[in-house]
Amino acid sequence: MTDQTWVAPPDDAEVVAGLGRSFADLFGGKPDGVWAAPGRVNLIGEHTDYNGGWCLPLALAHRTYAAVRHRGDGHLRVASRQMSGLGYDGPVPGVRPRDPGGWVAYLAGVVAILAERAGPDRCGVDVLVDGRVPLGAGLSSSAALSCSVAVALRDVVPGLADLGDAELVDVCVRAENAYAGAATGGMDQTVSVRAVDEHLLLLDARDGTVTPVAWTLPEHEVLVVDTRASHSLADGQYAARRATCEAAAAALGLSSLRELGPGNVQDPEVVARLVGVPHGRERVRHVVTENERVLDLVAALRERDARAVGALMTASHLSLRDDYEVSCHELDLAVDAALGAGAVGARMTGGGFGGSAIALVRRDSVDRVAVAVASAFAEAGLTAPHFLSAVPSRPAGRVR
Ligand code: ADP
Ligand code: MG
């Protein structure tokens, strides 16, 4: 039998104590407090957020923690327990898009953008983060990082207390797009900041409204398989899918693909207009049918219909695999092995090309499904996957 590695949710007290020790070593003294923001899995509605569509993420209990101390001199120092040394040590106005680049940009970008509002002198901070969302696993450690820092600055920087949650989300999206150079939509930041404990969050990306959706299937849980196939190399592919959708919307004279209904995909005029957009028809078909699946899944949850929920998840996977072409061998294997071992439904989640898959599993068969997936990976000679339980959890906020 194959061993399985489970990534348990972090223990606040343990993380806070560790951050306190490292903060003292690195910066001297104590932080003003510790804030945390969750990663997420998206139950359904993939590659829809940047098309003004629907998605249904949940905040994980796995979070990124930020120990932050305000300083009055407009100087910024940042470090991460997952990285070595100081990532940045300089004035707030020295932070520019892509400079510093890499992981520091997610964090320093938030500070720079908030400094436009509060003034650079007021935004000086010492920041040390500890990320307990697996990095680069499609579980949104990047938004957990930026959002943990954003909620902290809102609390410690004079003049930011009246920033609303939706504005804070925009700040984090801008940081990721403009400073880190990742062309992501707003789903990750929205659920990290605006999640409701014990609920999924139905997000309408057209206007940013969110509706909490109760988890009505107490006998089932969402099992996350981190395939450990890194998805970071796929940045260009993500941007390419986004560009295709924008080109398709432009060819159709629409502000976004959200304006299309499922019936429109066969419409001869729509088909004709998409001829000039490479892969336009398949990509559009995914977006349009995926939007419909999100709303159908919300209805199925309301009816406590686990079978229907699972079937919609699996249909989403096939659409992402065949029409949107963002799956990969590891994701397909995780999905197939989970379904073969009795999962009610399964799909890739997140941007694709690696990262994580999720499966809707009866609680009494979680171990069986995990064993089956781990065995399939071992037989295929792949790196052993990691497993997490996705328990709908609380939004970003102060921990200590
Ligand atoms: P995901 O958001 O799915 O985890 P991304 O590629 O969007 O994947 O984001 C991962 C990147 O975010 C990492 O490569 C790193 O640059 C940054 N990051 C996330 N968490 C941390 C952390 N705790 N410390 C330093 N960098 C982090
Ligand atoms: Mg990310």
Q: Which domains does the chain have, with CATH numbers?
A: 5-211 (3.30.230.10), 215-390 (3.30.70.890)
* Residue that is written with structure tokens 């989403």 in the block: 316
Among 22, 35, 83, 103, say which to mutate for ligand 1: greatest number of ligand atoms within 8 Å of CB: 103
Contacts of 295 (CB under 8 A, 6+ apart): 54
256 close to 51: Cβ distance less than 8 angstroms: yes
Q: What is the per-residue pLDDT across 205-221, written as a single tens digit (0 to 9) for each?
A: 999 999 999 999 999 99
Q: Where are the beta strands (DSSP E) in 180-304?
A: 199-204, 209-214, 220-226
Report the separation in Å between the CA atom of 143 and the middle of ligand 2, taken as the mean of its atom positions.
Answer: 6
What was the pLDDT predicted at 235? 67
CA angle 170, 389, 232 (to 5 degrees): 50
User: What is the widest separation between alpha-carbon atoms in the chain?
Assistant: 68
Cα–Cα dist 73/95, whole Å? 15
Closest listed ligand to the CA of 145 = 1
What was the pLDDT predicted at 333? 98
State yes or no: pLDDT of 1 exceeds 80: no
What was the pLDDT predicted at 232? 59
What was the pLDDT predicted at 233? 52
Centre a 10 Å sphere on the Cβ of residue 322 and count the other Cβ atoms it contains: 12
State yes or no: pLDDT of 53 exceeds 90: yes
Give the mean model confidence (pLDDT) for residues 93-121.
97
Q: What is the per-residue pLDDT across 110-160, written as a single tens digit (0 to 9) for each?
A: 999 999 999 999 999 999 999 999 999 999 999 999 999 999 999 999 999
Whether 89 is catalytic is no
Cα–Cα dist 303/322, whole Å? 29
Contacts of 65 (CB under 8 A, 6+ apart): 10, 15, 16, 19, 34, 35, 36, 129, 130, 131, 132, 148, 399
Cα–Cα dist 245/33, whole Å? 42
Centre a 10 Å sphere on the Cβ of residue 400 and count the other Cβ atoms it contains: 17
Closest listed ligand to the CA of 141 = 1
What was the pLDDT predicted at 306? 98
The overall average pLDDT reported for the chain is: 96
Closest listed ligand to the CA of 187 = 2
Report the separation in Å between the CA atom of 308 and the middle of ligand 1, taken as the mean of its atom positions.
Answer: 34
What was the pLDDT predicted at 3? 79
Which of 49, 130, 188, 323 is labelled catalytic?
188
What share of the chain in percent tops pLDDT 90?
93
The binding-site residues of ligand 1, defined as CB within 6 angstroms of any ligand atom, are 64, 80, 82-83, 102-103, 106, 129, 131, 135-142, 145, 182, 232, 350, 355
Contacts of 168 (CB under 8 A, 6+ apart): 147, 150, 151, 154, 193
Closest ligand 1 atom to 355 CA: 3
State yes or no: pLDDT of 234 exceeds 60: no
What was the pLDDT predicted at 350? 92
Closest ligand 1 atom to 80 CA: 24
Q: What is the per-residue pLDDT across 346-357, written as a single tens digit (0 to 9) for each?
A: 999 998 999 999
Mean pLDDT lowest among 33-37, 232-236, 276-280? 232-236
pTM over 0.85: yes
Report the separation in Å between the CA atom of 396 and the middle of ligand 2, taken as the mean of its atom positions.
Answer: 16
